[in-house]
Amino acid sequence: MTALVAFPDAEAAIITHLRGQLAALGVPTPVSGRVPNPVPARHVRVVRTGGLRRDLVTDRARLTFECRDSGGEPGAIELARLVRAIVTHAPGYMGGAWVDVAAEVGGPASSPDPDTGTPRYLLTVELHMRGSEL
């Protein structure tokens, strides 16, 4: 019989990891799964946009990162550059979850916020995260 394996909450793990890493780099930035109200001047939104199970113990979580900065496009680009460097640094633990592989799927690409016009860059990364037996 095959073991039951549960996977980490990819969004929560990466939000925690990214928030800590940005702060450690001297760029404390709100990071969340939703856009807060009111919207901060600088913010990263992390959304799981899919992904499939690779094998019995590995989930390929596909995450999209929205990096926005109301101060202008250079700030949004810089934030996307930092997020890209942090989330593609694998293998290793990210927010308590083991990540074997970080495969870039797309980005960074300019995509201004449709409601406010705030400069925003999107990037998508597939993180191969190890599950644990129940």
- The helix/strand/coil state of 111 is coil
pLDDT at 29: 97
pLDDT at 3: 86
Q: SS in 3 state form for the chain? A: CCCCEECCCHHHHHHHHHHHHHHHCCCCCCEECCCCCCCCCEEEEEEEEECCEEECCEEEEEEEEEEEECCCHHHHHHHHHHHHHHHCCCCEEECCEEEEEEEEEEEEEECCCCCCCCCEEEEEEEEEEECEEC
pLDDT at 115: 87
pLDDT at 1: 61
d(CA 41, CA 28): 12
Query: In a structure prediction context, what are the per-residue pLDDT tens digits for the chain, which is 134 residues long?
Result: 678 999 999 999 999 999 999 999 999 999 999 999 999 999 999 999 999 999 999 999 999 999 999 999 999 999 999 999 999 999 999 999 999 999 999 999 999 999 889 999 999 999 999 999 99
- The helix/strand/coil state of 11 is helix
Predicted TM-score (pTM) of the model is 0.95
pLDDT at 60: 98
d(CA 123, CA 63): 8
pLDDT at 77: 97
The domain 5-133 is placed in CATH, from the list 3.30.450.80, 3.30.2000.30, 3.40.50.300, 1.10.150.120, at 3.30.2000.30
